[in-house]
Amino acid sequence: MNKRNEMIAGASQVFEAGGFRGVGIDRVIAACGASTRTLYKHFGSRDGLVLAVLEARHGTFMRQLSDSEAPDADPVGSLFDTLNGWIEEHGARGCMLLRARSEYGQGNAEIVCLVDRQKREFREEIATRVTNALGHDDPALSTQIWVLFEGATAAASITGVPVIEYAKVAALSLVAAAKTGPS
């Protein structure tokens, strides 16, 4: 692993545990085994490192989602299966992207725009999966499933991983109801 990637990995762990703005730069670079000079060389600023961490996190999650798309897998159910695996690997602390957006909401428009773009991409992924499940677009259902997913991500940090299965069952029930249409 190169130094830049080592720094992203180390900073990601520190930010995950302590938040973004509440952690001093000395603690971040200590976890990365780097100097302040190296941080500025690779990222330009502390916020540049935050942007890189968020890009890496989103990219990794989106790759895991695409890896979960086996031909026989349920396109909506596998969203929640991926979340379950993600939380088992990374812990249940809520969504790092939304936490960053909250912490930087008034302080850094670039971070807010990045998270907004990433969340748009994720919502588009959900919409694609809903279309695959139904055979047609359903923006309202896509939004409902997105809300269930984001809610399960947050709730798992309070109630534990089993809440993800409840959200999955609810999402699949919504899909089944959309397939049968109004009664």
Predicted confidence (pLDDT) per residue in 32-53, tens digit: 888 899 999 999 999 999 999 9
Reply yes or no on whether the pLDDT at 70 is more than 80. Answer: no
Predicted confidence (pLDDT) per residue in 158-169, tens digit: 999 999 999 999
pLDDT more than 90, % of the chain: 76
The whole-number pLDDT of residue 174 equals 97
Reply yes or no on whether the pLDDT at 181 is more than 80. Answer: no
* Side chain identity, residue 84: N
The whole-number pLDDT of residue 71 equals 75
Question: Long-range contacts of range 85-88, CB-CB < 8 Å, 24 or more positions apart?
Answer: 86/61, 87/153, 87/156, 87/161, 87/164, 88/161
Domains and CATH numbers, the chain: 3-180 (1.10.357.10)
Predicted confidence (pLDDT) per residue in 15-26, tens digit: 988 899 888 888
pLDDT band at 120 (very low <50, low <70, confident <90, very high): very high
Token pair 């998270």 in the structure block, residue? 115
* Side chain identity, residue 158: I
Reply yes or no on whether the pLDDT at 154 is more than 80. Answer: yes
Q: Which two tokens stand for residue 129?
A: 């999966």
Look at 135 and 24; give whichever has higher pLDDT.
135
- Give the DSSP H or E segment for 19: none
**Torsion angle, CA of 41/47/53/55, rounded to 10 degrees?**
-100
- For 90-107, what is the mean pLDDT? 91
The whole-number pLDDT of residue 183 equals 53
